[in-house]
A = this chain, B = another copy of it.
Amino acid sequence: MIVDCAVYTNGKRRDGDLPLVDALEASKEPDSFVWVGLHEPSPDEFEAVREEFGLHELAVEDAIAAHQRPKLEVYDGDLFVVLKTARYDDATELVAFAELQLFVGESYVVSVRHGEASALADVRRTIESDLSRIRCGPMAVLHAVIDHVVDDYAPVIDGLDNDMAEIEDAVFAVDRPRGFDPSERIFKLKREVLNFYRNTEPLLDPLGRLAAGQLPGAHPELASYFRDVEDHLTRAVSAVAHARDLLSEALDANLAQVTVRQNDDMRTISAWLAIGGFPTVVGAVYGMNFQHMPELETRFGYFVVLAVMLGICFMLYRRFKRVGWL
- Complex Cα distance, B325 from A166, in Å, reads 24
Interface size class of A (residues with CB under 8 A): 35 or more
Please tell me if A269 contacts chain B, counting CB pairs below 8 Å.
yes
Q: Taking the full assembly, how many copies of this chain does it contain?
A: 5
A302 CB contact (under 8 Å) in B238, B260, B290, B301: B290
Q: Quick check: is A125 within 8 A (CB to CB) of the other chain?
A: no
Tell whether, in the assembled complex, residue A184 and residue B172 are in contact, meaning their CB atoms are under 8 Å apart: yes
Contact with A283, one of B234, B281, B292 (Cβ below 8 angstroms)? B281
User: Which A173-197 residues sit within 8 Å CB-CB of chain B?
Assistant: 174-175, 177-179, 181, 183-184, 186-187, 190-191, 194-195
Main secondary structure of the interface of A (DSSP, over half): helix
A190 touches B248 (CB 8 A): no
- CB nearest neighbor in B for A279: B281
Contact call A281/B276, Cβ cutoff below 8 A: yes
Closest chain B residue, CB of each to CB of A260:
B181
Q: Is A259 an interface residue (CB 8 A)?
A: yes
A262 in contact with B262 given A280-B284, A281-B279 (CB within 8 Å): yes
Q: List residues of chain B with CB within 8 A of the CB of A288.
A: 282-283, 286-287, 289, 296, 302, 305
Q: Which of A182-214 contact B (CB under 8 A)?
A: 183-184, 186-187, 190-191, 194-195, 198, 202
A256 partner, pick from B183, B228, B235, B325, beta carbons under 8 A: B183
Chain A interface residues toward B at CB < 8 A: 56, 58, 61-62, 67-69, 71, 73, 75, 168, 171-172, 174-175, 177-179, 181, 183-184, 186-187, 190-191, 194-195, 198, 202, 224-225, 227-228, 231, 234-235, 238, 242, 245-246, 248-267, 269-270, 272-274, 276-293, 295-302, 305-306, 309, 323-325
Q: List 5 A-B contacts (CB under 8 A).
A: A62-B228, A71-B231, A194-B246, A265-B270, A285-B306
